Structure 1
Amino acid sequence: AFGLPATTLQGEIAAVIWTTTPWTIPANQALNAHPEFQYALVEITGPAETAGSRKFPPNLRYRWLLLAQDRVQACLAAWGLSGKIAGHCAGLKLQNIRLHHPLSRAHKGYARSGPILTAQYVNLDSGTGIVHSSPAYGIEDFLSCKSAGMADEEILTPVMGDGRYAAGLPLFGDLTIWDANSKIVAALAQAGTLMHSERITHSYMHCWRHKSPVIYRATNQWFAGMDIAPHVGGKSLRALALAGIESTAFYPQWGKARLHAMIANRPDWTLSRQRQWGVPMAFFIHKETGALHPRTAELLEAIAKRVEASGIEVWQSITAEEMLGDEAASYVKNSDTLDVWFDSGTTHETVLRGSHAQESIFPADLYLEGSDQHRGWFHSSLLTSCMINGVPPYKALLTHGFVVDGEGRKMSKSVGNVIAPQKVSDTMGADILRLWVASTDYSGELSISDTILKRVVESYRRIRNTLCFLLGNLSDFEPARDSVPAAELAEIDQYALALAADMQRQTLEDFSRYAFHPAVARLVSFCSEDLGAFYLDILKDRLYTSGRNSRARRSAQTALWQITEMMTRLMSPYLSFTANEAWQSLHQSSGLDPQATIFEEAAHNVIEMPHAADLLAKWSSLRAARAEVLKAIEIQREAGAVGSSLQATVEIRAGQAIGALLKDLGEGLKFVMITSAAHVVIDPQLAADAVSVHVSALSHPKCSRCWHLRPEVGRDPAHPQLCSRCVSNLFGEGERRAIA
């Protein structure tokens, strides 16, 4: 490998390996070098002149050392040696060179050799650049040896399940691995193969609960092969699962890449566990060959019936003799249990095709769980269903984050930042808790705090107050008797219904992709901006001053009833109690079955407006102009020029486009602006959609009923405190309201 003549290499050559787990050295079967690193053959010339008090390696019998070239200086300095590099080569050229076991001189039981293999995980951060490999006690070691062709039965496994070496292991039999560490180091020193030892502090595997160290140990297990095709031309489990991921919808979308990467890169699935509890793998295994009994499928069915009758513990009492008869002597009862993820991962069979089989809901519309379940329930459910059905058990996967406090910290009793859901429900109501969940973007962590809950309560109050207003103004409305045909509704009522239908359409689209927080935000905005600050504000005059059975009032109520029906149904998934209460109140006069609930209802079919798009565009422009008018009135109110808006008259100078829309409102203009008088002047000098507003106070007397300031108040001797509009609404034919 180094291109040196044999006559140059006088003396023995040693590859220097390093490890933080001396207890694995008795099971050493190979060395690992990086295929691309440069390795040096170093001739040892003696102790380093600067070694000082450092102890020269005792019993050192090697003249030549094999090290990673980039680690030569550091290693020689650490060991107190001097030397020179005689040659170097790439790690790949060292492959399959065999070396004696480091304990071969300590006991003949270790008189074996192992090859140098190549592995990408070797690094130059520390050590020698050559890593000792015990395939039974390290994942990387296992994989490198398996890739080199080592058979399972060739892997040495001297460590037993209790952490002790097998009794027959030379020098260290029956010792625990921790007790053996120091004895192994001493044996290496005695054999002249110990270059250096020291105590270091480093990260090591440990049990998260008990904080005690744990080890890797290769044992025989049952696996689900990811890349085995069940028959010629068939697809492997990995191929089926990856294809299934492509047909699955993910919410949020990043979940797809995450699950795909896990399936694409995962090893075979270890199905078995060695535990005293769990679902037994009820097999009978041939004592000599390790093969399953040829009637395994039949035996499993018989055992399953026993379990159904007597419970899972019955497996403990079943004997090979009663199940196999004369064959029992050749078989042993398997003691392994199933991975718990196999249990949860097969709910598609026990639920979708078991307890709910009559509903024919396989595959499920949705599986939803926390973001940790891509490697858990989502993962195992996908694999088991692909094993059984060839397809995923779900059409879609939804992943949510975890609840944290207002500062983004995990909930912790020790920190004192835990907010108990039951306490929130008890003090604020279940709907507040549900609204918090629905209004939070679940794709990330879900923050909760008293401050956040106060904001949720404010949103809830806005929604509930809106419902109270709607229901209060529908107390005398019977839809079958009082509804006004769509074409005869006042234009602003038509607009409100077009707005409601558009809101419902967007909300249902949100629901279809499980986007709840935009739906909640839209409902709150609809209640506060579209209804509270605009439509309902304008509507009050018509509801309170028009005749009880007038077309003007019934038109408004028709729109309100449609909006209430639509709103309650849309909010029922998350404001369940409030929605059901409001819906039952809405229908209480219609002979509704007391047991009926809103949860049996689909989305409401809001009356369709033939020219909905035109209405939405027109009134969007009008609302923008109205905002300018309200702003101008507010300026005058703050200046003390007017009190309420009904004490004002406005002159609106407008560009051509918006001016035409405002003029089309006619008498409805003052109702839209909530003023006692309003006028429009089209100004060609202004931009098409621009408005300029002049506000002035009116000096007319005030109608005691509608509060409008009108010049005719006091002229009717029979009704000296009323305006002509109120007189007509009370005692005459009533006003006609085509616009607002």
Structure 2
Amino acid sequence: MSDYKSTLNLPETGFPMRGDLAKREPGMLARWTDDDLYGIIRAAKKGKKTFILHDGPPYANGSIHIGHSVNKILKDIIVKSKGLSGYDSPYVPGWDCHGLPIELKVEQEYGKPGEKFTAAEFRAKCREYAATQVDGQRKDFIRLGVLGDWSHPYLTMDFKTEANIIRALGKIIGNGHLHKGAKPVHWCVDCRSALAEAEVEYYDKTSPSIDVAFQAVDQDALKAKFGVSNVNGPISLVIWTTTPWTLPANRAISIAPDFDYALVQIDGQAVILAKDLVESVMQRIGVTDYTILGTVKGAELELLRFTHPFMGFDVPAILGDHVTLDAGTGAVHTAPGHGPDDYVIGQKYGLETANPVGPDGTYLPGTYPTLDGVNVFKANDIVVALLQEKGALLHVEKMQHSYPCCWRHKTPIIFRATPQWFVSMDQKGLRAQSLKEIKGVQWIPDWGQARIESMVANRPDWCISRQRTWGVPMSLFVHKDTEELHPRTLELMEEVAKRVEVDGIQAWWDLDAKEILGD
């Protein structure tokens, strides 16, 4: 018997032999849309226990990439799985339509606001661009088979959403969490704007590593502190830094109160260093013949003054908990306008928050004759040469280290003190409240809780203001002299929100203040 086919018991199927998915998938997706499959599922699940996946929105900028695909497909699996488990699991996609990425794209095509277009026209171009990008990305996500309410996504540029963002800011103010301050913030000189921590990435950068001597104003007072009389040459407190460009803003030298500090005699001068770092510093600066003349606790040196190497004024030694023995000299160059730790301790000691750097990253006029108008990163070599000329440079070498950069431009950023609006973490107990709420969340995996608790416990105040054109405005009225918020701030913000809900954020810039403030 040669015909075995008739003897086989095979199942019958309507499935074709070949998937031919490239042709069949678009038809299947079109059928889902035509039949309103998403709506049918929602109707069938009405009244069931709800499962909501809050989808963090992608930027409406460019085509989707593998990161978008992985994100959306995994979320789609979760939503569909919950639906099959009996939940009503709606999925509402969204897009972040404001901010720097969109501005940069529009600037590339049309130029910066005020060049070819007014700011209002530029915002309109941003809105048009974002809408186009939303349409393109939506088609791609649908093509991936992600099921959701694609006809009614949430867009941050929807007029109602823009209005509700203003209302949310009003709630923050009502709860006492908003304040204004001239604190050092991450600043991108290419964006000419403050950046949030989430907008900062770290890359390796080569910088000058320098040891600098700040000569003591009262040499005799220092000798008395260390209990010595025979010192050959001037006495200096030595700092170490990888940001020479910040030295014009130096207003103090921070030391640790409980560290032992040594007075070390070297050729022609004496230097003060943390005792535990003497050996490493001597090796670094190439000194083999040295003598420790005496030691004192850092607290003994508080408020003794030292001469700035080239700025023509003297600065105090102050006590700070941020000083470590991990590297350097045990004495930290402190510029309150260029660092968070520096700012905090500067406030404690009433130091000036000096910021000699403009928004474009160049020194402001009147900073120093050879530095005025120079880009800060190009100024490093000028500062090093200046220190060498003044006889204050003990050592310089190139050092590669991790450095904060703008997430968009990939260029180094700076800390720069500028007037900004902050959400305070401690002013009205927001940090404590947040840490309490974290404990009420189920974390998967468990270690996620410890990670977010650490982030919240240690994060600084949140800088929410930006120096941009395309975004929801900080719609606040402040006193022109005291900069205090208007006493009717919440009422005024609601009035602004109502207008934005009708005409979008442009309503804020078109607003005549007298319309809601009166005369």
When normalised by structure 2's length, the TM-score is 0.52
Root mean square deviation of aligned Cα: 2.6
Question: CA deviation digits over 1:48-76, x for unaligned, max 9?
Answer: xxxxxxxxxxxxxxx22111223333433
Spell out the pairing of 1:220-619 with structure 2 (5 A cutoff): 220-229=419-428, 236-326=429-519
Give the partner amino acid of 1:204.
Y
C-alpha spacing 1:4/1:217, structure 2 compared with 1 (3 Å): closer
Question: Equivalent residue of 1:302, what SS?
Answer: helix
Question: Equivalent residue of 1:137, what SS?
Answer: coil
Question: Equivalent residue of 2:404, what SS?
Answer: coil
Matched, 1:113 2:315: yes
> What is the match of residue 182 of structure 2?
none
Asked if 1 retains the 8 angstrom alpha-carbon contact of 2:276 and 2:325, the reply is no
Matched, 1:99 2:298: no
Q: 1: CA distance between counterparts of 2:325 and 2:470?
A: 41
Asked if 1 retains the 8 angstrom alpha-carbon contact of 2:323 and 2:330, the reply is no
Structure with the higher fraction of residues in helix conformation: 1
Question: Equivalent residue of 1:189, what SS?
Answer: helix
Question: Equivalent residue of 1:8, what SS?
Answer: coil
Structure 1's unaligned 5+ residue stretches are 47-62, 105-109, 230-235, 327-740
Matched, 1:123 2:290: no
User: Shift in Å at residue 77 of structure 1?
Assistant: 4.2
Q: 2: CA distance between counterparts of 1:79 and 1:227?
A: 43
> What is the match of residue 19 of structure 2?
none
Give the partner amino acid of 1:176.
N
Matched, 1:72 2:278: yes
C-alpha spacing 1:258/1:83, structure 2 compared with 1 (3 Å): closer
The answer to which structure, 1 or 2, has the higher relative contact order (CA under 8 A, 6+ apart) is 2
The percentage of aligned residue pairs carrying the same residue is: 44
C-alpha spacing 1:251/1:322, structure 2 compared with 1 (3 Å): same
Give the partner amino acid of 2:272.
L
Q: 2: CA distance between counterparts of 1:69 and 1:158?
A: 34
- Tell me whether 315-324 or 3-12 shows the greater mean CA deviation: 3-12
Q: 1: CA distance between counterparts of 2:404 and 2:447?
A: 31
Structure 2's unaligned 5+ residue stretches are 1-221
Give the partner amino acid of 1:123.
L
User: Shift in Å at residue 124 of structure 1?
Assistant: 3.8
Question: CA deviation digits over 1:295-343, x for unaligned, max 9?
Answer: 22222122111111111222122243444454xxxxxxxxxxxxxxxxx
Q: 2: CA distance between counterparts of 1:266 and 1:114?
A: 28
Give the partner amino acid of 1:19.
T
C-alpha spacing 1:8/1:320, structure 2 compared with 1 (3 Å): farther
C-alpha spacing 1:124/1:253, structure 2 compared with 1 (3 Å): closer
Question: CA deviation digits over 1:500-521, x for unaligned, max 9?
Answer: xxxxxxxxxxxxxxxxxxxxxx
Question: Equivalent residue of 2:393, what SS?
Answer: coil
Asked if 2 retains the 8 angstrom alpha-carbon contact of 1:92 and 1:118, the reply is no
> What is the match of residue 403 of structure 2?
204
Q: 2: CA distance between counterparts of 1:279 and 1:196?
A: 49
> What is the match of residue 350 of structure 2?
150
Q: 1:30 aligns with which of 246, 252, 263?
A: 252
Task: Name segments (4+ residues, structure 1) moved above 4 Å.
Answer: none
C-alpha spacing 1:213/1:289, structure 2 compared with 1 (3 Å): same
Q: 1: CA distance between counterparts of 2:228 and 2:514?
A: 66
C-alpha spacing 1:268/1:86, structure 2 compared with 1 (3 Å): same
Q: 2: CA distance between counterparts of 1:265 and 1:212?
A: 26
Matched, 1:134 2:335: yes
Matched, 1:42 2:264: yes
Matched, 1:90 2:291: no
Q: 2: CA distance between counterparts of 1:170 and 1:128?
A: 27
Give the partner amino acid of 1:12.
P
Question: Equivalent residue of 2:401, what SS?
Answer: coil
Spell out the pairing of 1:600-639 with structure 2 (5 A cutoff): none
> What is the match of residue 566 of structure 1?
none
C-alpha spacing 1:35/1:188, structure 2 compared with 1 (3 Å): same
C-alpha spacing 1:238/1:70, structure 2 compared with 1 (3 Å): closer
Q: 2: CA distance between counterparts of 1:223 and 1:112?
A: 32
User: Shift in Å at residue 281 of structure 1?
Assistant: 1.0
Question: CA deviation digits over 1:381-420, x for unaligned, max 9?
Answer: xxxxxxxxxxxxxxxxxxxxxxxxxxxxxxxxxxxxxxxx
User: Shift in Å at residue 251 of structure 1?
Assistant: 4.0
User: Shift in Å at residue 162 of structure 1?
Assistant: 0.9
Asked if 2 retains the 8 angstrom alpha-carbon contact of 1:226 and 1:269, the reply is yes
User: Shift in Å at residue 13 of structure 1?
Assistant: 1.3
User: Shift in Å at residue 20 of structure 1?
Assistant: 1.0
Q: 1:186 aligns with which of 385, 388, 391?
A: 385
State the structure with more CA Rg. 1
Question: Equivalent residue of 1:99, what SS?
Answer: strand
Q: 2: CA distance between counterparts of 1:325 and 1:72?
A: 67
Question: CA deviation digits over 1:159-212, x for unaligned, max 9?
Answer: 111101111212222221123222212222222212222223332222344332
Structure with the higher fraction of residues in strand conformation: 2
Matched, 1:214 2:413: yes
Asked if 2 retains the 8 angstrom alpha-carbon contact of 1:18 and 1:132, the reply is yes
Aligned residues: 295
User: Shift in Å at residue 259 of structure 1?
Assistant: 3.1
C-alpha spacing 1:112/1:290, structure 2 compared with 1 (3 Å): farther
Asked if 1 retains the 8 angstrom alpha-carbon contact of 2:252 and 2:316, the reply is yes
Asked if 2 retains the 8 angstrom alpha-carbon contact of 1:70 and 1:124, the reply is no
